[in-house]
Amino acid sequence: MSEQAANQVRGSRGEGEKLADFANLVFSMDHRPHNFEVLMPKVYGEGRDSESWHYTMREDGEIRAMVMAMPQPVTSPSHFPDLAFERVGIGNVSVHHRARGKGYMQQLMRTAIADMVDRGSAYSFLSGQRQRYRYYGYDNAGILMHYSLSQRNLIMTWPALRAAQLPADLALIELPTSGPLLDDAYALYQANEGLQARAKEDFTLICRTFSQSARALVRRSAGGGQDLQAYFVIDNSNTTISELARTEAAPAWPELLLRTMQLLNQEKLSLQLPLAFGGSALELQETLGFVSEDCSIRNSGMFLILDFAKTIGMLLAAKATQVPLAPGRLRLLIHECPSPAPAEQTVEIRVGGGRLHVGNGERLFVDADLPLTVDELAVEAGSTEVALTYTDALAWLFSPRALLDNPLRRALPVAEASWLPLNPFVATADNC
């Protein structure tokens, strides 16, 4: 089959099973048996209408390569009701073994990224080999905290927990797909995340991504009622939690963690959580940092920033829901951005008067009241200006390297430096 006979085709309605079968074939041959209808029901589940997310290269009608680009609208209805952006997850990048070396993957990736730019997407994310996807502008970023915790860590640190009996009214159940428990869990998700990328009706389905599920820790009453204490997302082996939030009525974090491990019948547990900046999420990570056997900080994935002003605006808004932003002004000049995004990009940020303004010099993408404020200090009339390459901007704004001493942090006044890092972390349930 000649290379000229191939043509690019977007997936069409009714092809979901065919697209999943192709991904299963390639990944099962290259790695281990895969079933993407189980691994990603949010994409390949019945009635998902996700076929058009798939870019395919076909020879005589047969799929020979595929890239899936999953759009995720991101909003903040509780804090920034007018804020709405799109990020795009890349997944199931696959080439049939008989079509390798023909350049199909490069063609499909470039088409998918060009479409993102045309639609005005803020950024894209994926999991994969750095040397493969750096070619398109993706690189390591996002800040993931990994904790290794044991029951012994908890009871040796807080001996009173050893003596206390497991309350008979506490129970772990699958989070229902509708009803009051889902309503309460979704409210926790919204409060904990600041920005949201899941609709409530799809919440439990999305949480099943990559062999996980959403669980509810409930307190049962004599009358048969159930009050939510916490929800979490955990893998099917009950060993790794990727998302966790508690209600105000729940036990304090040390007891809640111990009771959860007891109910799971797990002596040890791993937790992989985004770096927290405030609120209950920060309280959890302060507890885990104090008691865990081990703690590490990692990149959470690979990211391609298509529009820096939108991305920074979105992430600053998310951070502002957790911690007050100090007043200040900053202008970033970012160059050498990968094509087809504009090679030169400007970001103008101003925090003051209880408001957040983020734009590109021509248009404001965020212009909103801040949910948390600090006492105003005198803000200088001028604005700090810093020039960065794309690579340095990705590292010093959005990755664990932003936590370290670096040229950008040294160039910023204290107020503006306190805005960093920004975390484009994507939860496992939202990934692809």
Residues in the chain: 432
Which residue segment(s) compose the domain that 62 sits in? 3-126
Residue 284 lies in a domain: yes
Q: Mean pLDDT throughout 19-43?
A: 92
State whether 90 and 165 are in the same domain: no
Query: Is residue 319 one of the residues assigned to a domain?
Result: yes
- Which of 89-103, 182-196, 239-253, 295-309 has the lowest average pLDDT? 182-196
Domain boundary among 276, 299, 322: 299
Q: Which residue has the tokens 């547990």?
A: 269
122 and 196 fall within a common domain: no
Q: What is the CATH number of the domain that holds 236?
A: 3.40.630
163 and 70 in a common domain: no
User: Average of pLDDT values for 3-31?
Assistant: 89
Contact (CB, 8 A) for 368 and 83: yes
d(CA 189, CA 302): 24
Return the H-helix or E-strand segment holding 290.
helix 279-291
Torsion of CA 52, 54, 60, 61, to 10 degrees: -40
- The answer to whether residue 139 is domain-embedded is no
Instruction: Give, to the nearest 10 degrees, the angle between helix 279-291 and helix 180-193.
Output: 80
Q: Provide, rounded to the nearest whole percent, the portion of the chain with pLDDT above 70.
A: 97
The answer on 153 and 47 residing in a single domain is: no
* Count of alpha carbons within 13 angstroms of residue 430, beta-carbon side: 24
369 and 270 both lie in a single domain: no
Residue 78's pLDDT is 78
Q: Which has the minimum average pLDDT: 10-19, 141-150, 369-378?
A: 369-378
**Residue 224 pLDDT level (bands cut at 50, 70, 90):** confident
244 and 185 share a domain? yes
Letter string b/e over residues 283-303, b meaning 16 or more CB atoms within 10 A of that residue's CB:
ebbebbeebbeebeeebbbbb
Per the structure, the count of domains in the chain is 3
- In the block, tokens 């408001």 appear at 355
CATH of the domain at 78: 3.40.630.30
Least Cα distance to 88 among 74, 72, 112 occurs for 72
Domain for residue 384, yes or no? yes
Same domain flag for 34 and 100: yes
Q: Tell me, what amino acid is at 159?
A: P
Q: Which of 244, 271, 299 is the last residue of a domain?
A: 299
> Is 60 exceeded by the pLDDT of residue 378?
no
Residues 311 and 410 in one domain: yes
Average pLDDT, the chain: 94
Q: Same domain for 35 and 165?
A: no
80 inside domain? yes
In a domain, 136, yes or no: no
pLDDT at 4 over 70: no
- Tell me the pLDDT band of 380, cut-offs 50, 70 and 90: low
Closest CA to 422 of 308, 254, 336: 308
- pLDDT for res 191: 86
One domain for residues 369 and 271: no
Per-residue pLDDT tens over the stretch 316-332: 999 999 999 999 999 99
* pLDDT for residue 193: 75
Q: Any idea which residue has 């009635």 for tokens?
A: 47
Per-residue pLDDT of 386-408, as tens digits, reads 999 999 999 999 999 999 999 99
**Domain C-terminal end among 244, 270, 299:** 299
Outline where 51-150 has alpha helix (H): 104-119, 130-133
Q: Residue 377 — very low, low, confident or very high, per pLDDT cuts 50/70/90? A: low
32 or 35, which is more confident: 35
- 264 in the same domain as 122: no
How do residues 75-125 score in pLDDT, each as one tens digit? 987 788 889 999 999 999 999 999 999 999 999 999 999 999 999 999 999
**Cα distance between residue 258 and residue 248, in whole Å:** 17
> Is 33 inside any structural domain?
yes
Query: pTM of the full predicted structure?
Result: 0.94
Please indicate, yes or no, if residue 131 is contained in any of the structural domains. Answer: no
Dihedral angle sign, alpha carbons of residues 395, 399, 405, 410 = positive
- Please provide the DSSP assignment of 257-285 as one string: HHHHHHHHT-SEEEEEEEPP-SHHHHHHH
One domain for residues 319 and 239:
no
